[in-house]
Each structure stands twice: as structure tokens, then as C-alpha cells.
Amino acid sequence: MRKILGLAAVIAMVTVGSALADTTFTAASGPKCKDASKPEFGLWTCLGPGGYAVRFADEGNMVSLTLAPSGSIAKAGPTAQWRGAGRAFGDKVQWIIRRGAPRAAVIRTWRRPDDDEHEIEELSVFAIDGERACTFAAVDIHQAKANQLALAKAEEAATSRCPEK
């Protein structure tokens, strides 16, 4: 009887743990996002889950992405910044949710390394640590099983903390 109760407890914990971890996708541009662009640069904010948002900025040579609570996104500094390519951001953001709060995000990005004109296409993974977010990993999109690897990195990021600034 104890073994059955123990097994039932383990199954219950696994089921609850699975229910607490979730993944969802949101738009990274388009009509659901708030566009504050000017003629000389692009700037738009898209709402994410759990009161979070992502702000995209593209001034041509440099681009940035900011992950923060939606109420403080306008004042938050960039989570990541890089030299832009022809296209800088993918069409959607994948969010890893734990206990109703976003804990990691993945977005396809394009960048140019310093003093180089070839483009690098990656799946950029960000950890979300409360009100802070930080770059966690990047997966080359041309790598075998890149999407699965990026999701695994995002699951790892969801349990990580961002360094103090």
C-alpha cells in the first residue's frame, strides 16, 4: 500500500510540474504590436504573456531587443544589442512559462559580426529573472535540430538567474 501511495505522489508531482511549465508564442510585429517608429528608426512593442512585453528597436546599423514587464518596458535598457543585418528579428517570440510567469524567451535573429558583411541567423535565447532579462544562449539556425536545441536551452534558461548589473 505504501508503494502505491508513493507512486501516486510521484505521478501527482510530475503532473503538477508539467502543468506549471508551458510554452506559448506571440507576434514579434504586426497589428497586435504598438508601433512608435519614426522615419529614421523602427521602434515597436509587442505584449507577451504574464504582464511581460518585448520591445524591438532598429535604427539600421544597430538593433536591440528589450524584455521587461509591460509597465516598465519604456524605461528598461536593452536586453541585447547587435549590429543589424538585412532582417533583424523573426516573426514570433516563443515564451517559456513557469507558474504563470515568463521565465525564458526564444526569437530568431539575424546579425552581422564586427567588420564582416555576412549574416548570421540564430535562435537567440533569453533568461527572464523576475523584472530582469539577459542573453542566455544562441543556436545557429543551420545546425541540425536547431529548434529542439533552442527549446532545451530555453528550458535551462528558465531555471537560471541573470547576473547583477
Over residues 153-164, the pLDDT tens digits come to: 999 999 999 988
pLDDT at 165: 66
% of the chain residues with pLDDT over 90? 75
Average pLDDT over residues 45-60: 95
Can you read off the three cell numbers belonging to residue 82?
Answer: 547587435
pLDDT at 10: 37
pLDDT at 16: 40
Give the number of residues written for the chain. Answer: 165
pLDDT at 47: 97
In a domain, 164, yes or no: no
Strand 120-129 relative to strand 101-111: parallel, antiparallel, unpaired?
antiparallel
Is 70 exceeded by the pLDDT of residue 54?
Answer: yes
In a domain, 11, yes or no: no
In a domain, 17, yes or no: no
Number of domains in the chain: 1
Is 60 exceeded by the pLDDT of residue 51?
Answer: yes
In a domain, 8, yes or no: no
Cα–Cα distance for residue pair 29/134, rounded to 1 Å: 21
In a domain, 50, yes or no: yes
pLDDT tens, residue by residue, 59-117: 988 999 999 999 999 999 999 999 988 889 999 999 999 999 999 999 999 998 877 77
Which helix (H) or strand (E) is 21 found in, with range? strand 21-27
| Least confident stretch, 13-22, 85-94, 127-136 | 13-22
Can you read off the three cell numbers belonging to residue 13?
Answer: 508531482
Cα–Cα distance for residue pair 95/47, rounded to 1 Å: 11
In a domain, 9, yes or no: no
pLDDT at 33: 97
φ/ψ bin of 108: left (φ > 0), alpha (ψ from -120 to 50), beta (otherwise) = beta
Contact 65, 74 (CB under 8 A): no
* Average pLDDT taken over every residue of the chain: 88
In a domain, 10, yes or no: no
pLDDT at 6: 43
Per the structure, the complete domain to which residue 40 belongs is given by 22-157
pLDDT tens, residue by residue, 23-33: 999 999 999 99
In a domain, 15, yes or no: no
Contact 104, 127 (CB under 8 A): yes
